[in-house]
Each structure stands twice: as C-alpha cells, then as structure tokens.
Structure 1
Amino acid sequence: MEHPMEMNTLSEILEKLRLKGLDKEIKMTDHGKMQSDLKIYSPEDLTIIKTYRFEGDSDPADNSVLYLLEDKDGQIGYIMDAYGMYSSQENTGFDDFLKKIPTADRDLQELFS
C-alpha cells in the first residue's frame, strides 16, 4: 500500500533550505527586476524548479506560495509570496516577471534528504 507524501509547512521547508545553505531570498526591486544580495536577475536568468503552495490551518484565505529557483550559475534561491487577494507584492510587475520565468518542475528529493 502506497503512503501519501508527508506535507511540510512553509517554516519546515525554509528551515531545510537554510540547513542546506540554500536560503537566498530573491525579491522584486523598485526597478522591476529580481534581486538577491548583489545579483540582479531578468526572467531569462532564472528557472522555477519547484513550487509549494500553503494554506493556513485556521483561515483558508491565509495562502502563501514558495518558488524555488535556480539561476544560470546553478545557485538556488527562493521567492516567497502570499497569493490571492492578500498578495504581499506591491510592485505591479511582479506577476508579469514571474510568468516570464521558465519552469522545470524537478524532483528535489536530494535537496531535502
């Protein structure tokens, strides 16, 4: 009998990323680009390798999404956002930028083992 995959919380996944040294957050700048530390990215510089969606236990409107990304140098980082009507992104270009990033949904078991 197959057992369902254990669901993780957002904080558990962020902690696993931190322990692996992959806790580089990428954020939207005021100039419509994504930035992490000193790197500035265009959509073609990044690939979304995994997407996690979370819903709050007590409030279904408490939604968030975590995008794991890999840049052209093989560095892994993440973008975190609330979604739906509570989106935490004030920059109107965020959604357009995100839609332009190619997606390659990969099995990341080796990251979290």
Structure 2
Amino acid sequence: MHIYDTITVALADLDSRGYNLDFNLTPEALECKEIDLLLMPEEFEIDEVYRFEGMTDPADSSVVYAISSSVGNMKGVLVDGYGVYAENVSPELLDKLKIHHE
C-alpha cells in the first residue's frame, strides 16, 4: 500500500501502474464509458483504497479505489465522495464497496 498526499498524486501513480481506466458508479455496476463496459460486483476486485480528507471541510472527502477485473484483464480507478453512493446503488455493489471503505 502506498501513501499519497493528494488525489492527483495517487491517480498519477496508479495510472503509471496500469490503472488507466476511469470507472463511474451506476445503480447496479461500475461503468467505463471509454470502452463501453459495465462490470457487475462479482466481475471486479478492489485492490487498493485511499482516503483523502478535505483540507477545511470534512464533508469534502474522497475515496480512490484501485480496481481490477479479469473481464478483459483491465485495471482502473473509481473516485467517490464519502457516503455519496449509499442511496444510489444496489445492495451487492454497496456491500463490495463498504467492505473496503470502512
């Protein structure tokens, strides 16, 4: 596990290590618009998690997930705010993210 001072530094290092796709949350899966792909919770693993606290506002905090999938042998990142996803995603996806978030 690495230690990063900023999200920008974390994303640059993860990119240099092959995590070069950008994932977004959908209600049921992770989506990569670059390659028109949806990954269901059972189709990806969370390899690393990094938390970043806001400088002045604790509510301005983010989590960076380094994600890999054997589907297409790909790696990428998901950047999310603390708790933002809780009401918008399936229980299966939420469980997978929470295991690594807490």
TM-score by length of 1: 0.66
- Unaligned 5+ residue runs, structure 1? 105-113
Give the conservation status (yes or no) of the 8 Å contact 1:51–1:67: yes
Q: State the aligned residue count.
A: 95
1:26 counterpart SS class: strand
1:26–1:6 CA distance, 2 compared to 1 (3 A): closer
Specify the alignment match of 1:108 in structure 2. none
Shift of 1:52: 0.5
Q: CA deviation at 1:18?
A: 3.2
User: Which shows bigger deviation, 71-80 or 19-28?
Assistant: 19-28
- Between the aligned partners of 1:95 and 1:52, the Cα distance in structure 2 is 22
CA distance in 2, matches of 1:41, 1:49: 15
Moved >3 Å (runs of 4+):
18-21
Q: Summarize the Cα distance change of 1:90–1:6 in structure 2 as closer, same or farther, 3 Å threshold.
A: closer
1:22 positional shift: 2.2
Structure 2 residue aligned with 1:18, among 9, 15, 20?
Answer: 15
For the structure 1 residues 33 and 21, does the alpha-carbon distance in structure 2 shift closer, same or farther, using more than 3 Å as the test? same
Q: 1:34 aligns with which of 19, 25, 30?
A: 30
Unaligned runs of 5+ in 2: none
Q: How much is the aligned-residue C-alpha RMSD, in angstroms?
A: 2.8
Render the CA deviation track for 1:59-92: whole Å, top value 9, x for unaligned: 22211001111101432111111114xx2x4861
TM superposition score normalised by structure 2: 0.72
Q: Secondary structure at the match of 1:40?
A: strand
Instruction: Label 1:66 to 1:95 Cα distance change in 2 as closer, same or farther (>3 A).
Output: farther
Give the one of 93, 100, 103 matched to 2:96: 100
Change (3 A) 1:15 1:46: same
The answer as to whether partners of 1:28 and 1:94 remain within 8 angstroms in 2 is no
